[in-house]
Structure 1
Amino acid sequence: MLGLLLLALASRCTGRGVYGKRWYPRRCPRHHTARGWSSRLTPGEVRRAAATLVNGLEVGNLFEEQKVFEVVVNGTADTRHSLTSLRDLLIDAPGGRHVRLQDVADVRIVPSPNMIKREAVSRRLDVSANVRGRDLGSVAREVEERLKTIEFPREYHPVVLGEYAERQAAETRLFWLALAAAVGIFFLLQASFGSWRLTTLSFLTLPSALVGGVLAAYASDGIISLGSLVGFLTVLGIVARNGIMLISHYQHLEQEEGMPFGPELVIRGAKERLAPILMTGATTGLSLIPLIVAGNIPGHEIEHPMAIVILGGLITSTLLNLFVVPALYLRFGKGNPPQPKPSVSPLPAGA
């Protein structure tokens, strides 16, 4: 009955999308001691006779043309047709007599698990359900909350496993890897710009590029999945690359070509980097179109949401690099004077 209780709980949480139940109705003959004693039949004999006629009993093997065929003794289909036919099933009794099954046992339909698994010296019963119409995370959290309100017998405890638990572990690992990647991006920006102010400025603008990915994810199915998180990391890498290209080009114009800091420098640098930034976004977006058009089909559970997030993030990251970064550089980038070129003195004659 504990399994039925958990199954009912999962059904209420997942709605119409529940199937894959692990509890099935089973016809169960229960030996009646008083009536069995009058027929001199033991409970084991009643169970064996009923199991042989209903489920079958392998009594040997038949070899024919290098093939092995099992020889099974079984009752006819009529004996398993209904509960009434089972109750009228004739069983051999001592003395050559026959008794009906209902005369020596109570035959009724009871719920029974189809499989009890054992792991680490413990028995477990799986209650499984598939989710439809809701996201997996919200359903799993609701199941966990409702399980806390159920008082289980001693030495019994529930554990929520499956795809949800695996996804939680993957998201935790991805979080720490993303944190390490963000730290690495920060120091790469500093090594490229040589300025803590420009590094901080560029780093703080990176999350703004993710707005398009978030909007695209919620516009598609409203779920931030593991594939979506991978897409966010990809967008961060693209916008960091474009930002490095743009700001490094500003520094090149100011330090190598001697352009004075001002609107003309910012506008010229943006124009010269317009084509590389647009081509990066266009080629990446075109490569993702097949995944988006194919839809969320089996086998694309990771690629489809990832492609949607990357495409949405490419739009906002392109706008960020072409409009926001130049304006912020014009406002905060003046404190980096051009570095003087090292002078090379001519060698004296005859040296």
Structure 2
Amino acid sequence: AIGKIRGVIEVDGGLRIAGDAIVITVNRPAAALEGLDPEAITRQLGMLTGGSVIGQIQEGDKLVGVRVWTEGSLRDRFRTLEDLPLRAPDGHALPLKRIATLSIAPGQPPVTRESLQPLVAVTARLEGRDLGSAMREVSQTVSRLNLPAGVRVEYGGLYAEQQKSFRDLALVFLSALLLVSLLFLYLFRNWAAVGSIVATLVLAASSVFLGLWVTGTELNISAMMGLTMVIGIVAELGVFYLAELPAGQRPNSDALIAAGRARLRPILMSALIAILALAPLALGLGEGSAMQKPLAIAIITGLLAGVPLILIFTPTLLARLSKPLRERA
């Protein structure tokens, strides 16, 4: 079913039929009359069809085994196997077909198990399509198969690794947000400043998802790395702004506006330089740029939203949070 999905190619159903097998069924009464048992017959057939190593000879620096084997014409055809000569305990020879029947069993798929449960590994490859949208369509297709009870589907491979990386990067993102909050609290010793910056960072990070959606870019590992970098860059712009405010004083409107005017050029220049440096990657120019395109788009989008947020939203929220509770009402 998934082979019909656009971009999904080289689908392997996971069932590989083994080659046909030759089944030798021993007629126990007939073998007993000849003085043979199944174990002795198996041992002789193993020597006749597989040979027996009787010694070794020196060849250069290594030892090579010497194998005694029957002639190839006696064991390379199904019908000739019936005439393989066996030796009874009293020394007389007899053909295999006198005491056994031979048949051909069709090949059977091997049973693969994982944690003592049967496993069928279905694999495929993507071509000309991103992993996220393809997996969504694969999941929808598989959910419509009406699999019997007791059968479950687990997705592995590159998709599972990507999901694990997403979880790890989400943890990195939250850790970066926490560390930035602690840093601002240490630098400015002002909970209002910390709250306004954290709110600004969250909004800037949210704008990254909007930018990816507008540009039709998949949210992948590269984009998540760009999202984490946006936290650091916008936080640096926030330091530029807050460092201009008078230390130890509650900021008023005049101080907030003056800080914005004083830091307008450094903030704009820092953001503009980063945007221009990442523009070739965002436009997909040059070899290998497609791999880093989501990262560049994420950072550029975050900066485009982060600059006005730092200059307008942060001072507004900071002024609001700095007021005593009775004055906010």
Range into which the TM-score falls when normalised by the shorter chain: 0.5 to 0.7
**Structure 1 residue 125: deviation in Å?**
7.0
Question: Corresponding residue for 1:260?
Answer: 254
Assess if the C-alpha contact under 8 Å between 2:85 and 2:93 holds in 1: yes
1:111 is the counterpart of 2:104: no
Question: Corresponding residue for 2:78?
Answer: 86
Identity of aligned residues (%): 17
Matched position secondary structure for 1:113: coil
**Structure 1 residue 311: deviation in Å?**
0.7
Matched position secondary structure for 2:18: strand
Separation in structure 1 between the aligned mates of residue 171 and residue 186 of structure 2, nearest angstrom:
23
Q: 1:28 aligns with which of 21, 34, 39?
A: 21
Separation in structure 2 between the aligned mates of residue 268 and residue 282 of structure 1, nearest angstrom:
23
Q: 2:263 aligns with which of 264, 269, 277?
A: 269
Unaligned runs of 5+ in 1: 1-8, 297-303, 338-351
1:243 is the counterpart of 2:242: no
**Structure 1 residue 141: deviation in Å?**
10
Separation in structure 1 between the aligned mates of residue 274 and residue 8 of structure 2, nearest angstrom:
44
Separation in structure 2 between the aligned mates of residue 261 and residue 199 of structure 1, nearest angstrom:
18
Residue 71 to residue 331, structure 1, CA distance change in 2 (3 Å):
same
Residue 142 to residue 56, structure 1, CA distance change in 2 (3 Å):
farther
Q: 1:7-61 CA deviation, whole Å, 9 max, x = no partner? A: xx99899964334947441332223244x65465655556556666666655543
Separation in structure 2 between the aligned mates of residue 125 and residue 72 of structure 1, nearest angstrom:
39
Question: Corresponding residue for 1:308?
Answer: 293
**Structure 1 residue 316: deviation in Å?**
1.6
Question: Corresponding residue for 2:303?
Answer: 318
Assess if the C-alpha contact under 8 Å between 2:208 and 2:301 holds in 1: yes
Report the aligned-residue RMSD. Answer: 5.1
Q: 1:132 aligns with which of 122, 125, 130?
A: 125
Separation in structure 2 between the aligned mates of residue 50 and residue 11 of structure 1, nearest angstrom:
45
Q: 1:142-180 CA deviation, whole Å, 9 max, x = no partner? A: 87998984437xxxx998766665555554444444333
Assess if the C-alpha contact under 8 Å between 2:181 and 2:198 holds in 1: yes
Separation in structure 2 between the aligned mates of residue 192 and residue 288 of structure 1, nearest angstrom:
34
Separation in structure 1 between the aligned mates of residue 123 and residue 39 of structure 2, nearest angstrom:
39
1:151 is the counterpart of 2:147: no
Assess if the C-alpha contact under 8 Å between 1:87 and 1:101 holds in 2: no
Q: 1:259-311 CA deviation, whole Å, 9 max, x = no partner? A: 93465653442124322332344456679999983267xxxxxxx3xx33331
Matched position secondary structure for 1:29: strand
Q: Could you state the TM-score of these two structures normalised by the residue count of structure 2?
A: 0.65
Residue 217 to residue 24, structure 1, CA distance change in 2 (3 Å):
farther
Matched position secondary structure for 1:111: coil
Matched position secondary structure for 2:107: strand
Separation in structure 2 between the aligned mates of residue 130 and residue 181 of structure 1, nearest angstrom:
37
Q: 1:234 aligns with which of 212, 225, 229?
A: 229
Assess if the C-alpha contact under 8 Å between 1:285 and 1:314 holds in 2: no
Unaligned runs of 5+ in 2: 323-329
Residue 336 to residue 164, structure 1, CA distance change in 2 (3 Å):
closer
